[in-house]
Amino acid sequence: MKLIILAAPGAGKGTQAELLSKHYNIPTISTGAILRKNISDGTELGEIAARFINDGKFVPDDVMIQVVTKRIAEDDCKNGFILDGFPRNITQAEALEKSGIEIDAVLTIEVPDETIVERLGGRLECKNCGTSYHKIYNAPQKEGVCDKCGNELVTRADDKPETIRERLNTYHETTEPLKKFYEEKGLLRVAEGQNEIADTTAEVLKALA
């Protein structure tokens, strides 16, 4: 299964991608997570990415296309993969197509903007392994500590209220047109993103069945 998950920031794509990854036994390629890891490791890619991410802006297309095609060429993607966070615009989608990678389905998770602003305001992420939590909807067992690896949970630099609005605007203007792009190719599957993670997962599995 070669799947793209297309959804606004905070719609739950990372969470659903992890669940689908287990379900289909294929890796998730989260471009945001790759970039954040490079930032914390202080790599050259991380230095470039930080300049854009912290303002809620996109990292340049040529950089992202390279990151993704290189990752997909790795051995663990042989039987499929889930792309979480790529493509983010038509240029990236066309580059993916040109590189000869055939996608089986494109899943969108629909969540109203107001819900997203509320959710992202409470989002926490593990500094070490990147696992995502929410102060109310998906709280860790011990406040401020990752259930998986015991490291510290922090608010992402790009989850500040003004940056969230900026990211949502960018999503509507630049990423949302991809729905039409993939609908015309007969690849689009739509799921409603409910408040409860398990309800969204049920919707997602139904949409992909």
Q: Give me the active site residues, please.
A: 13, 88, 123, 156, 167
Cβ distance to ligand AMP smaller for residue 51 or 142: 51
Cβ distance to ligand AMP smaller for residue 16 or 31: 31
Helical (H) or strand (E) element with 107: strand 105-110
By the 10 Å C-beta count (0-12 exposed, 13-18 middle, 19+ buried), 161 is classed as exposed
**Contact of 65 with 47, CB cutoff 8 Å:** no
Question: Which parts of 62-91 interact with ligand AMP (CB under 6 A)?
Answer: 64, 85-86, 88
Q: How far is the CB of 35 from ligand AMP (least distance, A)?
A: 5
Among 4, 35, 93, 146, binds ligand AMP (CB under 6 A): 35
Cα separations (Å) of 7 from 24, 153, 165? 20, 24, 15
Cβ distance to ligand AMP smaller for residue 41 or 143: 41
Residue type, 155: T
Tell me the residue number closest to ligand AMP, measured at CB. Answer: 32
* Length of the chain, in residues: 209
DSSP class of residue 159? G
Q: How far is the CB of 59 from ligand AMP (least distance, A)?
A: 4
**Contact of 17 with 110, CB cutoff 8 Å:** no
Among 11, 29, 59, 120, binds ligand AMP (CB under 6 A): 59
Is 58 a binder of ligand AMP (CB under 6 A)?
yes
Listed in sequence order, the residues at least 6 apart from 32 whose beta carbon sits closer than 8 Å to its beta carbon are 14, 84, 85
Cβ distance to ligand AMP smaller for residue 91 or 194: 91
Is 32 a binder of ligand AMP (CB under 6 A)?
yes
By the 10 Å C-beta count (0-12 exposed, 13-18 middle, 19+ buried), 206 is classed as exposed
Q: How far is the CB of 38 from ligand AMP (least distance, A)?
A: 11
* Residue indicated by tokens 């998986």: 148
Cβ distance to ligand AMP smaller for residue 38 or 201: 38
Residues that bind ligand AMP (CB under 6 A): 9, 31-32, 35, 52-53, 56-59, 64, 85-86, 88, 92, 158, 167
